[in-house]
Structure 1
Amino acid sequence: AWGTVCDDGFGTQDARAMCTALGYPIGSIAPVVTSGRVPSNHAAGPIWVDDLGCPTTATDLADCAFTFAGSGCAARTEDVSLDCVAGMWEFRLVRPFGAANASTYGRVE
């Protein structure tokens, strides 16, 4: 059954590792939007993972340590929310036609 991850001990590196495992190059912790006491984007499944800890070199969730969530992480307000980004804007400098070969100036595209 699908479940969620508890925010206990969850940090920036854990968010990066999770987003990388999902195929996104960039990731961060997203604030949970709440309506009263229950997040508006809450899941119906159980909270499975607690105290996720990923090293800075983690490229897969198999590189991370965790414990199974117990009764200390039962509230839906403790579900982790991520902001995973598919990519960043790319910029380049295009030198003017006929200009010398230089990579330090040009039009930004």
Structure 2
Amino acid sequence: MNGAWGTICDDSWGMDDANVACRQLGYRAAVEAVSSASYGAGAGQIWLDDVQCVGSEEHILACQNSGVGVQTVVIMKMLE
């Protein structure tokens, strides 16, 4: 958020979510959606949890989620 690094909790993370995140970062699409902290635990603030994209969103914040900063983890830089 605001250029700060944080995490997105990987609960129910899937290809639609990964595709939206990758497109937001300038990539065409995701190759794979990983979960269960496959790359280790995230660091910093958990910005989003329970993300549920339909796949057509242009920004990860447009996807249904628990609320920014609300926790109920894929590392990326959240873009404004």
The structure richer in strand per residue is: 1
Aligned counterparts of 1:12 and 1:81: Cα–Cα separation in 2: 15
For residue 10 of structure 1, give the secondary structure of its aligned residue in structure 2: coil
TM-score normalised over the length of structure 1: 0.51
RMSD between aligned alpha carbons?
Answer: 2.3
1:27-73 CA-to-partner distances (Å, cap 9, x unmatched) read 1313614xxxxx2xx44302121011111322322431211432x4x
Deviation at 1:81, TM superposition (A): 5.7
- Between the aligned partners of 1:51 and 1:30, the Cα distance in structure 2 is 14
Instruction: Name the TM-score, length of structure 2 as normaliser.
Output: 0.65
Pick the aligned partner of 1:21 from 13, 20, 24: 24
Unpaired segments ≥5 residues, structure 2: none
Where structure 1 has 5 or more consecutive residues not aligned to the other structure, the ranges are 34-38, 73-78, 83-109
Tell me the amino acid that sits aligned with residue 3 of structure 1.
G
Aligned residue runs from structure 1 range 63-74, under 5 A = 63-68=62-67, 69-70=70-71, 72=72
Indicate the residue corresponding to 1:47 in structure 2: 46
Q: Is the 8 A contact 1:11 1:29 kept in 2?
A: yes
Counting matched residue pairs gives 68
Instruction: Tell me, in whole angstroms, the C-alpha distance in 2 between the residues paired with 1:13 and 1:5.
Output: 14
Task: Tell me, in whole angstroms, the C-alpha distance in 2 between the residues paired with 1:58 and 1:3.
Answer: 20
Aligned-pair identity (%): 34
CA distance in 2, matches of 1:43, 1:64: 20
